[in-house]
Amino acid sequence: MSLTPFAANLAAAIAAAASLIALPAMAQLPGADVGARPDPAAVCHVGVYRLDDGSWVDLAPNVNTGLRWRRLDGSTSRMVQNADGRWVSTLGWTNRVEGPQPQLGTCAEDRIAFDGRPGRRVALDAQETTFVGQDGTRLRGRLILPPGDGPVPVMVEVHGSEGSNALDFNAFQRFAPASGVGVFVYAKRGSGGSEGRYTQDFHVLAEDAAAAVIEARRLAGARAGRVGLHGASQGGWVAPLAASLTPVDFVTVGFGLAYGVLSEDGDQVIQDLKAKGWGPDVLARAREITEVTGAFVASRGAVGFDGLEAVRARYRAEPWFADIKGEFTGMLLNTPNAQITAMAPQLDVGTSWDYDPLPVLVSLNTPMLWIQAEKDTGAPPDATRRRLIALSAQGRPITLLEYPDTDHGIVRFETGPDGRRTSLGYAPGYYQAVLDWARAGRLEGDYGDGRILARATTRQ
């Protein structure tokens, strides 16, 4: 998933309007997944299960069909039930039947057999609530605490660009409490019974997240220890901004960006062209193009089509022109202007195109852990890496953990003959790093093959 799925949204909108060009069939409009629902036949099995060796396996719902299991070591598979009633697991996001093949009891039995070990579903302390976000919008939330009555850390989960209901699909709300870390999760505005409309306005979303922090503290009461924000992907812009609005003890950002939305598209274009073998001269021309497309998008079309027409005319015949993709540039270059105009109202979800996170990152005194994927195609990491290392060296409370050979989501992958990547599972150590940062605000020991590239120098 990209941080701001503009290209996919544009493709879907044009396809729905009987576009004259071939476009991706999987694309969707912004917030189209607001109506996503778990498989009703499998949802009774959703939960975290404690195995007889003390470890856990989490069962999360998939949209429409089946489940997905996850383990602390990052291993994961999709689970579907065959005609004989037996559950079949396929490795990561492949279709290969590999690895453990867990089997479940009936809905009433709360049991699992995982790789020869029996397990039972863990009973978690969950409290449902409704709280008030930005502009009085009422949002549905849930606080889940580990068993016991003592203080525990609490992570407030901040959404990415997805519109789907986090109350259904957020997995941390189960396995983090099973690991001693509380979680507050809420349905993004416009989803899951929360009021309002889906938006990618980071300021609105940050105010909602700040309100969620306040509600989490209220509900947890005396059990609230360290309370912080955990945001992934687009949530990497929102979580630090929310931390500037209300006091928190920590911030964790997964596979986010420390620069603006327009730079994301430009860096994706450059990354794509580099992968095709194009040199500095082509990259310089591509930067010229992304400045034009960025200005068009940021103005929501107010600057007009003159700039687009000019770069199309200048470069359309170049052999590298067809290799331009990015977040939205490639789509804008190859879509007739009339179709862009017709679909624009469906695509404008208030995205904060002009947002620069640097002022927030410079001023924020909250300890921050950033976790990024070295080979991220959705959030190109190079500029973020440089900025975070520099800020940490200047004394900002930033720790940067990077996982080699991983893509967006901190997922391991394999590359097919056609160059396409297929995700196999999460990087070992990634989940543990998130949990440890919530517990103590520091990383100690090894986290798989993750490399700490910057470490906060201020006292945490």
DSSP 50-82: EETTS-EEEEEEPBSS-EEEEETTS-EEEEEE-
pLDDT band with cut points at 50, 70 and 90 for residue 9 = low
For the chain, give every domain's residue range: 6-30+261-347, 43-121
Residue 4: per-residue pLDDT: 61
Q: How far apart are CA 357 and CA 203, in angstroms?
A: 11
**Dihedral, 133, 139, 140, 142 alpha carbons, nearest 10:** -20
Mean pLDDT of 296-303: 84
Residue 18: per-residue pLDDT: 33
pLDDT band with cut points at 50, 70 and 90 for residue 266 = confident
Residue 27: per-residue pLDDT: 39
The structure tokens listed for 203 are: 């300021």
Residue 460: per-residue pLDDT: 42
Task: Tell me the sheet residues that pair with 254.
Answer: 232, 371
**Which position has the higher pLDDT, 205 or 295?**
205
**What is the percent of the chain where pLDDT is above 70?**
92
pLDDT in tens, 119-166: 999 999 899 999 999 999 999 999 999 999 999 999 999 999 888 899
pLDDT in tens, 219-259: 999 999 999 999 999 999 999 999 999 999 999 999 999 99
Mean pLDDT of 93-112: 96
Residue 30: per-residue pLDDT: 67
Lowest-pLDDT choice from 211-215, 273-277, 356-360: 273-277
pLDDT at 354 over 70: yes
Residue 36: per-residue pLDDT: 82
Place of tokens 């990491």: 381
Output the 3-class SS for 364-392: CCCCEEEEEECCCCCCCCHHHHHHHHHHH
pLDDT in tens, 31-48: 777 878 888 989 999 999
CA 198, 188, 221: angle at the middle one, nearest 5?
155
Residue 25: per-residue pLDDT: 27
Place of tokens 């957020």: 170
Residue 12: per-residue pLDDT: 47
Residue 20: per-residue pLDDT: 31
Q: How far apart are CA 380 and CA 259, in angstroms?
A: 11
pLDDT at 2 over 70: no
Return the closest-CA partner of residue 138 out of 129, 146, 130: 130
Residue 216: per-residue pLDDT: 98
Mean pLDDT of 296-316: 89
Residue 313: per-residue pLDDT: 93
> Which of the 8 DSSP states describes residue 353?
T
CA distances from 339 to 165, 306, 328, 350 (A): 31, 16, 14, 20
Rounded CA Rg of the chain = 22
pLDDT in tens, 48-88: 999 999 999 999 999 889 999 999 999 999 999 999 999 99
Mean pLDDT of the chain: 90
pLDDT in tens, 446-457: 999 999 999 987
**Which position has the higher pLDDT, 134 or 7?**
134
pTM as predicted: 0.88
Residue 455: per-residue pLDDT: 95
Q: How far apart are CA 325 and CA 265, in angstroms?
A: 9
Mean pLDDT of 364-374: 97
Residue 211: per-residue pLDDT: 98
Three-state DSSP class for 188? coil
Q: How far apart are CA 266 and CA 288, in angstroms?
A: 10
The structure tokens listed for 379 are: 């959030």
Which residue type is seen at 176?
Answer: A
pLDDT in tens, 402-448: 999 999 999 999 999 988 999 999 999 999 999 999 999 999 999 99
